[in-house]
Each structure stands twice: as C-alpha cells, then as structure tokens.
Amino acid sequence: MIAIGPDPIDLAALIAAVGNPAHGAICTFLGTTRETSAGDDRIVEALDYEAYVELARADFEAIAAEAIQRFGPLRIAIVHRTGRVALGEASVAIAVGSPHRGAAFDACEFAINTLKARAPIWKRETYRDGGTAWIANTPA
C-alpha cells in the first residue's frame, strides 16, 4: 500500500496490508502533529502539507523497493497526508511486515528517514497566535 492524499490515516489498514502468515513481525511508525516545534516557543495548532503527489508516490515505491533489497523479504506500506493535519493527528505512517523483528525495525527506520530526506513534501506550521512558518524536513 502506497498512498498520499488528504484522507486520515487508517493504521489498521496498513497493518493488514503488510500482514503475511510467513512473517513474525510487524513494525509501525506513526508521525503525529505535536504541540511544539524544535527551537520555537509558539504553540502549534496544525500542520499543512503540500506535495508533488506523482513524484512523492514514485519516491515511496522506490523507498519500499530499496528497503526490500536491503532488509530481505518484506511487505511495506507508506502513507502520507496532504492538506491540514490537526494537533495529535497522524500525518505519515509506515508499516513493515517481516519474518523477523530486526529487519522490520531496520526497514521501518530506513523508510521514514529516507522519505524525510528526499520526498517532495513540504510542511507549514500554523500557530495558535495566527503565525505560520515553513519547516524543513529532517531525515533523522
């Protein structure tokens, strides 16, 4: 499952997508909107995401293929939201199913870090005081 769009993330659907009777591990990562941003005292009300959707989807597919090549037989789901994401809501989710937990954890970490480093997705924070700021992605 590879997706990018405005719909809320259904973590159960991602877990189902990577499940496999031959796999003994499923690892998930869920990135949520937090109340504060690094180095800023203002309170975050929401995040707004913009993306080059076609290119981001192709990047997600390439990241999944790279993870399989590096970490072995896996199933990977990558989903990212666009538009407004309120405080506490999920903006990105990754699920990895693998025969063993080590590969699942490693592939999940690789996928989120690589996505942050290269996917054409941009984030603007909206603050309770009415201000906004574009925030750079950080891979790790």
Instruction: Kindly report the average pLDDT of the chain as a whole number.
Output: 93
**Would you state the pLDDT for residue 20?**
94
**What number of other Cβ atoms are within 10 A of residue 79's Cβ?**
25
User: Using CA atoms, how far apart are residues 61 and 63, in angstroms rounded to an integer?
Assistant: 5
pLDDT band per the 50, 70, 90 thresholds, residue 9: very high
pLDDT tens for residues 88-140?
999 999 999 999 999 999 999 999 999 999 999 999 999 999 899 898 776 65
Q: What percentage of the chain exceeds 90 in pLDDT?
A: 84
| Section 73-98 average pLDDT | 97
Q: 37 pLDDT exceeds 80?
A: no
Contact 67, 76 (CB under 8 A): yes
- Percent pLDDT > 70 in the chain is 96
Burial (0-12, 13-18, 19+ Cβ within 10 Å), 8: exposed
pLDDT at 135: 85
CA angle 91–124–44, rounded 5-degree value: 75
DSSP for 50-79 reads EE-HHHHHHHHHHHHHHHHHHH-S-EEEEE
Residue 42 confidence (pLDDT): 86
Domains of the chain: 2-135 (3.90.1170.40)
pTM of the model: 0.93
pLDDT at 36 over 90: no
CA 133 vs CA 37, 47, 122, 123, 127: distances in Å: 10, 10, 11, 9, 8
pLDDT (0 to 100) of residue 140? 59
